Amino acid sequence: MSVDLMPNRYRPGDAELSEREAELIARRDAVLGASYRLQYRKPVHFVRGEGMWLYDPDDRPYLDFYNNVPSLGHCHPEVNAAMAEQAARLNANTRYLEPRLVEYAERLTSTFPPELDRVVFTCTGSESNDLALRIARLASGGEGVIVTSYAYHGTSAAVAAVSPNLGAAVNLSPYARIARLPGPAGVSDADASGFFEAEVRAAIADLQRRGIGVAALLFDSIFSSDGVWIDPPGFIAGAVEAVREVGGLVISDEVQPGFGRTGAHMWGFERHGIVPDLVTLGKPMGNGFPIGGVVGRRSPMEKFGNTARYSNTFAGNTVGIAAADAVLTILQRDCIMESVLAASARLHAGLEQIASETPGIRAIRNAGLFFGVDIGLDSDSTHQRRGRALDVVNLMRDDGVLISTTSANEDTLKIRPPLVCQEEHVELFLRSLRKALVEASS
């Protein structure tokens, strides 16, 4: 099956554009590489952001229910002030003594279980996953990596090769193996743990038989690209033990679920009652400033650090640390996770109500403020469901509300607003979704 990896991307002729946007698109096409994409059938042009809102050149507001990078909202004044103050004073790297670097590392690791007490900083989630794989392969002596069916872990050569989400044109590594998730496979909650463990054990057996060995089980703890198939909590525990039995490491990709997005926990893996060996961080860590990291157990981190070099000029730079420190301060001081749970409960209740009254919602899954909402009727074909989901996304864009799609068939709405989402934002979103569902069905 061929899947359009950017299903909402603009294509010439999709929508009537203003002269301003048409000219800008023509200039983009003339100078940018072909891999760039514009989202939505009618692309959006933003000139500023504030909190939950983005504004176009005509000052029209768009409610952002999609961007998880500015986790505390667009252009947070306290984060911006921290970056500006540090940039005006000094921007240096980790080769020099810098108290704030150490202080932030201490604060960050204190939010993890005590076994995870070392951190190495990176610039992006892709770099974090790339480095985590290097550590796992060196520490384990194996090469094989087990991932889920439609996982996405980044854009470097190493992590693209273990990201089935990137499509058939991106070859998977011969050292990669895929384990199906119980939810998309139609397995009941009661059988979910045994099913996933069996999938992982089969992958382990194949890797060992071929002399590849097992380096790691790498998973996004909210399974976002797979369609947010997160339940039941704890279903990955048996698979974790199976990997450890053969000397492999467990890597939890927290780039999307981390820093409080699930509400009940700071880190997504906590929802499953496990402690991984390595944890990768990215996107929301600096509220838009590029900073990431790998947090891990002392043994594999020291084995790697003592025998291999990792030098990254920009990773852990003083401006990035200032941004990340401000983000963590705000998360903790302002009890952001409590407000996440409140907004999540209201959003889930509203979606359930819409599903009971309006045809077109088949299922709702979420942890905190990360939702996957399956669109279409049970009688629809995959093509019809996907088309209806894209129609809903683009109708909402026209209504001034931003979301996107996910899952293997792109028939699941991906809803992940900034963590500062409040009840009034939820109500605006629900009204727009209800309207779009009715229009998409007519």
Q: How far apart are CA 368 and CA 347, in angstroms?
A: 10
Name residues whose C-beta falls within 8 Å of residue 406's C-beta, 6 or more positions apart in sequence: 224, 225, 227, 228, 372, 412, 413, 414
27, part of any domain: no
Q: Identify whether 30 is part of a domain.
A: no
Q: Tokens in use for 155? A: 């854009």
Last residue of a domain, which of 274, 302, 333? 333
- The number of domains in the chain is 2
pLDDT band at 31 (very low <50, low <70, confident <90, very high): confident
Task: Verify that 60 and 201 share a domain, yes or no.
Answer: no
DSSP 37: -
Q: 364 - beta bridge partners?
A: 373
Whether 18 maps to a domain, the answer reads: no
C-alpha–C-alpha distance, residues 79 and 76, integer Å: 5
**Domain CATH for 377:** 3.90.1150.10
Domain's final residue, options 269, 304, 333: 333
**Residue percentage of the chain with pLDDT more than 90:** 85
**286-327 pLDDT per residue, tens:** 999 999 999 999 999 999 999 998 889 999 999 999 999 999
CA 154 to chain CA mean position, Å = 10
Of 305, 333, 361, which marks where a domain is finished? 333
pLDDT interval class at 14 (50, 70, 90): low
* In a shared domain, residues 319 and 368: no
Same domain for 191 and 105: yes
Confidence grade of residue 39 (pLDDT, cut at 50, 70, 90): confident
434 assigned to some structural domain:
yes
Asked if residue 279 lies in contact with residue 300, where contact means CB atoms within 8 angstroms, the answer is no
Same domain for 186 and 297: yes
pLDDT at 182: 97
Give pLDDT, residue 1: 27
Q: What per-residue confidence (pLDDT) applies to 2?
A: 31
Rounded to the nearest integer, the mean pLDDT of the chain is 94
Nearest to 248 by CA among 175, 310, 160: 175
Residue located via tokens 């889920």: 148
Query: Do residues 325 and 386 share a domain?
Result: no
Between 306 and 36, the higher pLDDT residue: 306
Q: Would 36 be classed as within a structural domain?
A: no
Separation of alpha carbons 226 and 177, rounded Å: 15
Average pLDDT over residues 26-33: 88
Whether 390 and 278 map to the same domain: the answer is no
pLDDT at 35: 82
Q: What is the mean pLDDT of residues 163-185?
A: 94
Q: Are residues 87 and 48 in the same domain?
A: no
Does 161 have pLDDT greater than 80? yes
Domain enclosing residue 346, as ranges:
44-75+336-441
Q: Are residues 316 and 348 in the same domain?
A: no
Per-residue confidence (pLDDT) for residue 352, from 0 to 100: 97
Mean pLDDT score, 362-388: 93
Q: Are 109 and 117 in contact (CB under 8 A)?
A: yes
> Considering the domain boundaries, does residue 115 fall inside one?
yes
Q: Is residue 167 part of a domain?
A: yes
**Stretch 161-188: mean pLDDT:** 95
pLDDT at 168: 86
- If asked whether residues 313 and 364 sit together in one domain, one would say no
Q: What is the pLDDT of residue 3?
A: 36
User: CATH number, domain at 265?
Assistant: 3.40.640.10
16 part of a folded domain: no
DSSP assignment of 138-196 equals HHHS--EEEEETT----SSHHHHTT-GGG-TTSPPPTTEEEE--TTTTT--HHHHHHHH
Q: Are residues 88 and 121 in the same domain?
A: yes
Instruction: With a cut of 50, say whether residue 188 has pLDDT above it.
Output: yes
For the cut 50, the answer to whether the pLDDT of residue 4 exceeds it is: no
Q: Evaluate if residue 442 carries a pLDDT over 80.
A: no
**Choice between 79 and 376, residue whose per-residue pLDDT is larger:** 79
Q: Are residues 178 and 287 in the same domain?
A: yes
Same domain, 396 and 260: no
